[in-house]
Every structure is written in C-alpha cells, then in structure tokens.
Amino acid sequence: MIIRDKQNWFKLLFVWKESVLPEILPRLIVLFMLSGLVVYYHGTLWHYKIPLNAAPFTLIGVVLAIFIGFYNNASYDRFWEGRKLWGLLLIDTRSLCRQAITFSGYSQDSPEIKGFVHLLIALVYTLKHQLRKTDAREDLQRLLPASLSKHVEQAHFKPVILMRELGKWIQTAKQEGRIDSITVAAFDDNLNGLSNIIGGCERIASTPIPFTYKVLLHRTVYLYCFLLPFGLVDSIGWMTPIIVVFISYTFMAFDAIVNEIEEPFGEAPNDLALNAISRMIEATLREMAGEDITALTTKKPQMIVD
C-alpha cells in the first residue's frame, strides 16, 4: 500500500511513482496520436467523414460515470471490509494474548505463554500468505516448533489448523486447573471472532466482483475514449488531442484503480498493507509477552508498505 507524507496541492499534481499514470500512459499516448490524426484529416476515415458530434458523448459520458461510480463503490466496499477485518484481527489477537497472560496462571516469560503468543503470530502470517497465495514456510519455521511447523506446512487451510492448536492450548490449561469454564468461554468468544475474521477474508478473496461487470466497463471506457476524437474535432479543432487525453485519463485511471482495490489482499501499490499490519501485530503481541521488539520497531520507514 502507498504510504506517503502529506504533500501540498502543487506537489500532488506531479506525483508519478506508484500512481496509475505510468500504467495507462502508453494508452494515453496512443489516444493523443490518434486524436492528432483525426484533427489532421478533419475527422475523415478513408475519405469518409465520421458523422459524430459531442451530443451522444455527453449522454454516454453521464451513464458511464454512473456505472464507474457503482463499480468503484463495489470495489471500495471490498477494500474497506478487508481493512475492518484486519483491524479486528489486531484487536482479537491482543485480547487473546492478554487473557492468556493474565488468566492462565502461567508466568509472563514461561514457555507456555511464549508458545501461545507464537501461535497467534503464526496465525496472522499464515492468513496473510493464504490470501496472497504466497509461501508461509519461512514464517512457520521461525515461529513454531519443527514438528508443528512441518504439520501446518502440509495443511491447505493453515490458519484454521493453528486455531485448532490454540483451542488445544486452552483445553490443556483447563485440564491442569489453571482456568475455569467461565474463562474458557471468554477465550472461546475471541476464538470465534478469529474464525469470523478468517472466514470473512476468505469470502472476499474467493468471490470477486462478477467478471461481466469488469468486461462491460472496460470495453465501454475504451470504446468511448477512442471514438471521442471524432465527436470533438469539429467543435474544438486543434484542442481535441488535449481534451481527449484529459477525459480519457479520468476514465482509464478509475478503471485501473478499481481493478486494483477490488482484490484488497494483493500486492499492488493500492492494496492493503498486510506486511505492515502483520509486523505490527507481531510487535504488539511480543511486547505484551515481555519480549524484545527492537528489531521489529527500528526498521527504516518505507514509502511503500505492502
């Protein structure tokens, strides 16, 4: 995700890196050249005058803007829900860590507390890897005992397996008489919360916006933009290439942005900063357990965190 310091309005006009402009610039250049040819030949194609004016483009533009707005809202809703789910993940893992430290009777620096905290951290990282379809092996080997790490690596739904291990930890603590049934119920509420978060993330990742919407919007935007020079050349003349590129930039940029944010768990510049969130959760849980978090909090800030 793009993380930048706030800039004044003038500098913001010239932001290049990690904007969608580099992606759509080749298309805008093609449109500018096409518009120049349309102006040069006065809107004729093979000696045939294209009978277009600005009126139909005004009507189509209004409908297209409404449709882009609908698609943008649908995409941003997925992005916003993903953001809320990962915010809840931070809250629930903190609550479980606090409960384990204060209710279980184990000392803060005991192997049992350390193991519970590492299970929570491993669950966060495996969820991130599952959503991004990346390899969780390195994080599992870093956080879990070798035997458990190997077992989880072979699982398809790794976060769910780690939730089972958290449940076993709570069961063991109850059998040893360290927690009572009421405390177990409090643990279980937060485990159910984790289950809802994992299920919500899986739902977003596995049910994209219907492909028909994407195809229709994409085709309409590009057909509109490439026909626009023929509708404007008779009314604005040599200004046609500039106006066409400006209008096309708006529509194409929206098309590119919604394509990014409809999959909020990816690694594109505008997707959720799952790496940063995962590191923050790890740092806060380790600090609650009394571990040193210097290595996690002294990294040089980066403009892009994904």
- DSSP code at position 208: P
Whether 4 is in a domain gets the answer no
Mean pLDDT for all residues in the chain: 89
Position with higher pLDDT, 50 vs 26: 26
Number of CB atoms found within 10 A of residue 257's CB? 19
Look at residue 52 and tell me whether its pLDDT is greater than 90.
Answer: no
301 in Cβ contact with 266 (< 8 Å): no
For helices 111-132 and 158-175, angle between their N-to-C axes, nearest 10 degrees: 160
Look at residue 113 and tell me whether its pLDDT is greater than 80.
Answer: yes
pLDDT at 49: 83
Q: Residue 254: which residues within 8 A CB-CB, separation 6 or more?
A: 68, 72
159 in Cβ contact with 121 (< 8 Å): no
* 3-class state of residue 49 by DSSP: strand
224 in Cβ contact with 61 (< 8 Å): yes
Q: What is the mean pLDDT of residues 149-164?
A: 95
Whether 137 is in a domain gets the answer yes
Whether 71 is in a domain gets the answer yes
Whether 305 is in a domain gets the answer no
210 in Cβ contact with 105 (< 8 Å): no
Q: What is the mean pLDDT of residues 199-228?
A: 91
Whether 303 is in a domain gets the answer no
pLDDT at 248: 92
Look at residue 255 and tell me whether its pLDDT is greater than 90.
Answer: no
Whether 74 is in a domain gets the answer yes
pTM: 0.86
Number of CB atoms found within 10 A of residue 241's CB? 21
- How far is residue 102's CA from residue 73's CA, in Å, rounded to a whole number? 43
Closest residue by Cα to residue 227 from 45, 9, 7, 11? 45
Whether 207 is in a domain gets the answer yes
pLDDT at 4: 61
Look at residue 278 and tell me whether its pLDDT is greater than 80.
Answer: yes
Return the minimum-mean-pLDDT range out of 111-115, 225-229, 237-241, 253-257: 253-257
- How far is residue 177's CA from residue 261's CA, in Å, rounded to a whole number? 48
Residue 37: pLDDT band with limits 50, 70, 90: very high
- Residue 46: which domain range? 9-297
Q: What is the pLDDT of residues 187-211, one digit of tens each?
A: 999 999 999 999 999 999 999 888 8
Q: How many domains does the chain have?
A: 1
Q: What is the pLDDT of residues 115-142, one digit of tens each?
A: 999 999 999 999 999 999 999 999 999 9
pLDDT at 242: 94
- DSSP code at position 239: G
Whether 306 is in a domain gets the answer no
